[in-house]
Amino acid sequence: MSAKTASGIERIAAAFAASDRRAALMPYLMGGFPTLERSVEIGGAYVGAGVELIELGVPYSDPLADGPVIHAAGTQALAHGATLAGVLEVARTLSVSVPVVLMCYANMVLAPGAEAFVERLARTGACGLIVPDLPVGEAPEVLEACDAHGLALVPLVAPTTTPERLALIGRQARGFLYTVSVVGTTGEREALADRFAEVVARAKASTAVPVALGFGIGTPEQARMAADAGADGVIVGTRLVRAASEAPEDPAGAVSAVLEGLAAALENPPAR
């Protein structure tokens, strides 16, 4: 496969297909945190760990879907001068090695207009877009623009999503279906894996694309249970952002250690 000619959607599909883990490892990176340079280093550590896909967050003033750790990281990134242009450069750098999906709040996507935003994103080589406050059905021009540029507009489903909406979202999903494991914002939580199987099964029945489980997954044990539940991918965000913030001298080393534990938990065949 050539990353240069494949569309973003195709490149994401190929990454899932080529994964030899029980579930793809999909870490979240806060662009510009703690600084733009450091976030490139952290992303480099993700690439070095052999992750299948990176979800790259754009820091935002009012992140309604995020818990305190990612909110604070975004605030710090903005205080250190992070801009959309800077984060898109991070996307460009990382996209050479791994599929990148940008996570960006709706106001920033719609500020220049959906088409202009998506066109600019496509030029970085990124593969897709997640807009956590843009539910399916709102601003259809974002999906149109993504489709036109071959980028995956990845929708979210939640445990509260009704069967009717789930069917609609599953049909509109591109790239993968971001399945929120808990009712809540992003952040680490204890013992919630008992509902993974139900949440994943419901999502898988609704869609033809891979199902990635996220929100609240931070430990190797939780990652293993997500794979046990049948998830095609595991998204880990807050745990990694916290690791980076707790090791200001060597954030790349800190996230590498966390990723090593997560990768071991997703080995195929399972290392029990």
Tell me, what DSSP letter sits at residue 193? G
Q: How far apart are CA 107 and CA 112, in angstroms?
A: 9
Closest approach of other proteins to the CB of residue 216, in Å: 11
Least distance CB 138 / other proteins (angstroms):
6
Catalytic residues: 55, 66
Q: Which of 126, 157, 193, 262 binds other proteins (CB under 8 A)?
A: 157
Cα-based distances in Å from 62 to 28, 70, 195: 18, 11, 29
Scanning 9-17, 95-103, 156-164, 240-248 for contacts with other proteins by CB under 8 A, the matching segment is 156-164
Q: Are 204 and 170 in contact (CB under 8 A)?
A: no
| Nearest to other proteins of 84, 143 (CB atom) | 84
> First CA to last CA across the chain, in angstroms?
33
Least distance (Å) from other proteins to the CB of residue 247?
24
Among the listed residues 97, 19, 84, the one whose alpha carbon sits nearest the alpha carbon of residue 54: 97
Residues in 168-227 at the binding interface with other proteins, rule: CB under 8 A: 169, 180, 183-185
Shortest approach of other proteins to residue 181 CB, angstroms? 11
Site for other proteins in 58-117 (CB under 8 A): 60-62, 64-67, 71, 75, 78, 83-84, 105-112
d(CA 159, CA 59): 26
CB closer to other proteins out of 108 and 263: 108
Cα radius of gyration rounded to whole Å, the chain: 17
Q: How far is CA 176 from CA 77, 80, 226, in A?
A: 28, 32, 15
* Chain residues that interact with other proteins, rule: CB under 8 A: 60-62, 64-67, 71, 75, 78, 83-84, 105-112, 132-136, 138-139, 155-162, 165, 169, 180, 183-185
